[in-house]
A and B are shown apart, each in its own frame.
Chain A
Amino acid sequence: MKYFLYQLKKNPLAIVGIAIIVFWLFAAFIGPSMMSFTHTQIDADHQMARPGTNGHLLGTDSLGRDILSRIVYGSRSILTVALLTSIFSTIIGILLGFSAGYFGQKIDALFLRTMDILMAIPPLVLSMVVLGILGDSSILSLTIIVSIAFVPATARVSRGVLLTEKSQEYVMAARIRGESHLYIMFIEILPNTTGPIIVEATARFAYSIMMVASLGFLGVGLQPPTPDWGMMVIENKPIIDQAPWTVLFPALAIASLVIAISIFSDFVSKVLVHER
């Protein structure tokens, strides 16, 4: 931790990244209660109001809804889904990848074939088709489907990490002591692999934000009236030449969040790789 802070001091970019993430976390937790308009409130007198006019800091959309409060409210859903997705896909990835790598042979072969099948279709296409057919996406269905789409990637990383540890002497020692497979996998090996797994999980968080935003943009994400950043972009695209702010601000919100998380995950991987 001390080392982490020391590295942070030398890396101003990472500080900016973390500051932006903290800003969005605040926005998600307490932001909605600070807004003077709710995310569905229609200001009928001021449709497509310019930013900064009539008390709408970021303007309004074609219905007269406040862009700022929709963005702030929308940060909740995207952060929730992305966080859950990266946690779930990492955990499932560890469970599958570890079992495959640990037991090897037939289980490993079965695992590799299954992953080959899942990987032959781009993750965005997979989740978009399934969510589109299921319809009425909720936080739960989004999380489950996107996690499944991500599992091939996370499981392969976990499997690779386990394979490098498997031949270590402490694993052999535990085996000779007669420890159970589960004990060896999760009490002996797992703590030694936290570095690469944390790196993978933070990178996965950035991917999840991209994915959730893209799914919302394609109209298969969370359904109205829940404001969704991606959805705000596509629903206001037809008026981009009259009211560019309706599209630009949600897009910039996505941009700031993903770039901040990428900078952060880049930093984490540098620190953890250096430590090893």
Chain B
Amino acid sequence: MNRSAQMMLRRLGSLIATLVVMSFIIFLLVEIMPGDVAQMILGQSATEEAVAALRQARGLDDPLLQRYGRWVKGVLVGDLGESVYMQGVAINSILWRRVGHSLVLAFTAFIMFVPLSIFLGVLAGVKEKKPADSVISFFGLATMALPEFVSGVILITIFAVQLNWFPIVSVIPIGQTLFQNLDILVLPALSITFVMFGYVSRMQRSSMIGVMNSDYIRSAILKGMPRKYVIFRHALKNALLPTITIIGMNMGWLFGGLIVVETLFGFPGMGSLLMTAIKTRDVPLIEACVLLITIIYSLSTMITDILYSYLNPRIRFQGGQR
């Protein structure tokens, strides 16, 4: 316990270090790059005085460190500041709804790809080198390689353009909530499922093959236990461990994938918000999005580690040593 607590502390430390380093780099990059937010807000025709006045009012002329310090102070008390581009709009008032949408989308994708890929991975592993295995493995290899927007485009062409089952874009009509428009989640979530399916089912397949060839499974089968029982009760328990790790490791792809998928479908989530923020050079908004993505991402890897050591007694007793 002592050692795993130590490990958690180390992880937390590196998370904080990441946040500080990343947020400072973003401030620095925007500082040294050409392009002026005040000019962008007011348009090209704005007079120099107007631009200067706006810069003054927004505090954009203060030294870099002072602005950074002000931002950090705000974050520590939960104030993410105001969007520069959408003047005067508090980031807290737009960000959290978007984060909620993204989490719902990620969760939908998660409950789609996890059971599907584990089931098909087990099937492929049990039927090693039979036709079912070849089909599943090739499908996994192909979908794994595709960027989310490519599988998304193929899905749109089939299910939205040809069959007209789902909308082409995933926007929420004004005045409605996401839960009144659940159909817009299907195609984006499927696009993510496609990519994750390859990784997860491949890992599940190979760990299943490894476990099925072990002595205790062979003796269970020879003992005359029903095959189904052996596969799902005995083998799966052990074969799930590497799969859980690979799911955790791929959370990074899932978050990157969210940005791509949200952009493709116009889905109002955190990823498309970050895209807009980057295009409008809206520093506080970029900072807020990156901050959140990093935190969520790191937390999910940490949870994977905890889950892993909880499920694997060998690691638990060694105290998180790997």
Contact = CB atoms under 8 A, between A and B. Distances in A.
B108 interface: no
A100 to B, nearest CB: 16
Contacts of B35: 135
B9 interface: no
A220 interface: yes
A145 to B, nearest CB: 11
B311 interface: no
A255 B150 CA distance: 7
Interface residues of A, number: 45
B20 to A, nearest CB: 9
Interface in A162-218: 206, 210, 213-214, 217-218
B286 A129 contact: yes
- By secondary structure, the B interface counts as helix
A122 B290 CA distance: 10
A261 B145 contact: yes
A120 B14 contact: yes
Interface in B248-304: 252-253, 255-257, 259-260, 263-264, 274-275, 278-279, 281, 286, 290, 293-294, 297-298
A133 B279 contact: no
A174 to B, nearest CB: 30
B149 A230 contact: yes
B21 A117 contact: yes
- By secondary structure, the A interface counts as helix
Interface string A112-132: 010011101111110011101
Given A122-B293, A124-B256, A125-B293, A258 B141 contact: no
Contact of B15 (A120, A124, A255): A120
Contacts of B40: none
B259 to A, nearest CB: 7
* Interface size, B (range): 35 or more
Contacts of B21: 117
A155 B263 CA distance: 31
Interface stretch (A27-35, A66-74, A244-252): A244-252
Contacts of A206: 145
B22 interface: yes
A214 B149 contact: yes
B163 to A, nearest CB: 12
A254 interface: yes
Contacts of B142: 255, 259, 262
B17 A117 contact: yes
A121 B18 contact: yes
Most buried by B among A125, A128, A261: A125
A124 B161 CA distance: 29
Interface string B25-64: 1100110011100000000000000000000000000000
A234 B264 contact: yes
Given A120-B294, A214-B147, A251-B153, 20 more contacts: A13-B138, A113-B17, A120-B14, A123-B252, A124-B253, A124-B257, A124-B260, A125-B255, A129-B26, A130-B25, A133-B26, A214-B260, A218-B275, A219-B275, A220-B278, A241-B160, A241-B161, A244-B161, A255-B154, A259-B145
24 contacts: A13-B138, A113-B17, A116-B18, A117-B14, A125-B259, A128-B274, A133-B29, A135-B33, A213-B150, A214-B260, A217-B263, A218-B263, A218-B275, A234-B263, A240-B153, A241-B160, A241-B161, A251-B153, A252-B150, A254-B147, A254-B150, A255-B154, A259-B142, A262-B144
Interface of A: 13, 113, 116-118, 120-125, 128-130, 132-135, 206, 210, 213-214, 217-220, 230, 233-234, 237, 240-241, 244, 247-248, 251-252, 254-255, 258-259, 261-263, 266
Interface of B: 11, 14-15, 17-18, 21-22, 25-26, 29-30, 33-35, 138, 141-142, 144-150, 153-154, 156-157, 160-161, 168, 252-253, 255-257, 259-260, 263-264, 274-275, 278-279, 281, 286, 290, 293-294, 297-298
